[in-house]
Amino acid sequence: MTASLIDGKELARTLRGRIADEVTRMGAEHDVVPGLAAVLVGDDPASKVYVGMKHRDCGEVGIASRMIELPADTSQDDLEDVVAGLNGDDDIDGILVQLPLPDHLDARRIQELIEPAKDVDALNPYTAGRLAIGDPTFLSCTPYGVLELLAHAGVDTVGAHVVVIGRSNLVGRPLSNMLTLKGRDATVTLAHSRTRDLAAVCRTADVVVAAVGRQALVTADMVRPGATVIDVGTNRADDGSLVGDVDFDAVAEVAGAITPVPGGVGPMTRTMLLQNTLEAARRRRGLV
C-alpha cells in the first residue's frame, strides 16, 4: 500500500472531544443542553442499530437524546403530529426521522414538515435550496464529514478537480454544491450511471468520491496516480464483511490518500450530526 490512510475514526474522536467541550461550556455559561430527537418508525434492524448508535453518541458528548419509536403501521397523520410536536418543543434543537420509512408513508412530506431551524439532517427542501444558492444553513451530515476528512488530510480543494460518483440527495448532489462554495472553490464533475466512459472521467480527477453503493465500482485503472479517494459506499461482501465502492487494496497502490471502509466516512457522518445539533442549539438561542 502506497496511499496514506485517512482515518475517520481518529478524526471523529477528536471532533467529538471538541463538541463535548462546547456542550459543557454551553451548559455552564448559558444553562443550555442541546437536544436531539430521533424518530424511528417500524422495526428495520439496520435502522434500529443506527438510531441506537446516535443515541449513544449523544450521551458521550452530553447532548440530550430523545428516541421516539413508532409501530410500522403508524399513519401519515400520526407521524406528522409527532413531527409537529417536536417542532414546538423548546427542549429539542434537532429532529431527524430515520430513513427508510415504511412504504405507505410519504418521506418527502415528513422532511418538508421539519422546522428548518431544527433540520440537522439537512433534508428539508428549504435547507437544500439554501445550499444551492450558496447560503447554507445546515450541511448534510455525510458530505460534511467528507469535507472534514479532506481538510484533515491536507487536501486543498481550491481549483482542484473533484469527481463525485453518485447523484443522490443524501450525498452526491449536496456534496457537489458544498465543494463549489466560496473557500472550497473546487471544479466538480457529478458523475453517475449514465456518464460516458466513467473511468476516463475519473482519471482526470485530483479527488474521487465514490457514493453509489456498488462494491468495487472504482478500480485502480480509474484513479490517477497520487489522487485522493474518498469511499462513501457501504456494501456487504459475500463473506458478510462491510466493504465500500472502491477496490481498496488495488486502488491503495495508486492513490495518494484513501479512506477505509469501515472506519472512514461512517464515523464522520454521525459526528457531523452532533455538530449540527450543537450549532442548532446555538442559533436557536442567539448564542452565535
How far are the Cα atoms of 66, 87, 212 from residue 80, in angstroms, in the given order? 17, 10, 31
Percentage of the residues of the chain whose pLDDT score is greater than 70? 100
Nearest to 149 by CA among 4, 48, 1, 7: 7
Among 98, 119, 245, 247, which one carries the catalytic annotation? 98
Active site residue 103: no
d(CA 288, CA 285): 8
Coil, helix or strand at residue 92: coil
The residue type of 213 is G
Interval 123-149: pLDDT, tens: 999 999 999 999 999 999 999 999 999
d(CA 145, CA 272): 6
Please check whether residue 171 is in contact with residue 232, taking contact to mean a CB–CB distance below 8 angstroms: yes
* Bridge partners of residue 69, in order along the sequence: 40
Please check whether residue 186 is in contact with residue 157, taking contact to mean a CB–CB distance below 8 angstroms: yes
Interval 110-126: pLDDT, tens: 999 999 999 999 999 99
Whether the bond between 262 and the residue before it is cis, its omega within 30 degrees of 0, is: yes
Torsion of CA 86, 70, 40, 57, to 10 degrees: 70
Q: pTM for this one?
A: 0.95
pLDDT in tens, the chain (288 residues): 789 999 999 999 999 999 999 999 999 999 999 999 999 999 988 899 999 999 999 999 999 999 999 999 999 999 999 999 999 999 999 999 999 999 999 999 999 999 999 999 999 999 999 999 999 999 999 999 999 999 999 999 999 999 999 999 999 999 999 999 999 999 999 999 899 999 999 999 999 999 999 999 999 999 999 999 999 999 999 998 999 999 999 999 999 999 999 999 999 999 999 999 999 999 999 997
| Neighbour count for residue 152 (Cβ, 10 Å) | 16
Q: What angle do CA 268, 274, 280 make, to 5 degrees?
A: 135
Average of per-residue pLDDT values in the chain:
96
End-to-end alpha carbon distance in the chain: 44
| Neighbour count for residue 88 (Cβ, 10 Å) | 9
Q: Which residue has the cell 461512517?
A: 266
Residue ranges and CATH numbers for the domains of the chain are 31-116 (3.40.50.10860), 141-266 (3.40.50.720)
Look at residue 288 in the predicted model and tell me its pLDDT: 79
d(CA 174, CA 182): 15
Interval 191-228: pLDDT, tens: 998 999 999 999 999 999 999 999 999 999 999 999 99
Alpha helices (H) along 88-153: 107-113, 125-132, 141-152
Active site residue 121: yes
How far are the Cα atoms of 91, 232, 237 from residue 217, in angstroms, in the given order? 44, 12, 13
Burial class, 144, CB count within 10 angstroms (exposed 0-12 / middle 13-18 / buried 19+): buried
Among 57, 93, 119, 121, which one carries the catalytic annotation? 121
Look at residue 46 in the predicted model and tell me its pLDDT: 87
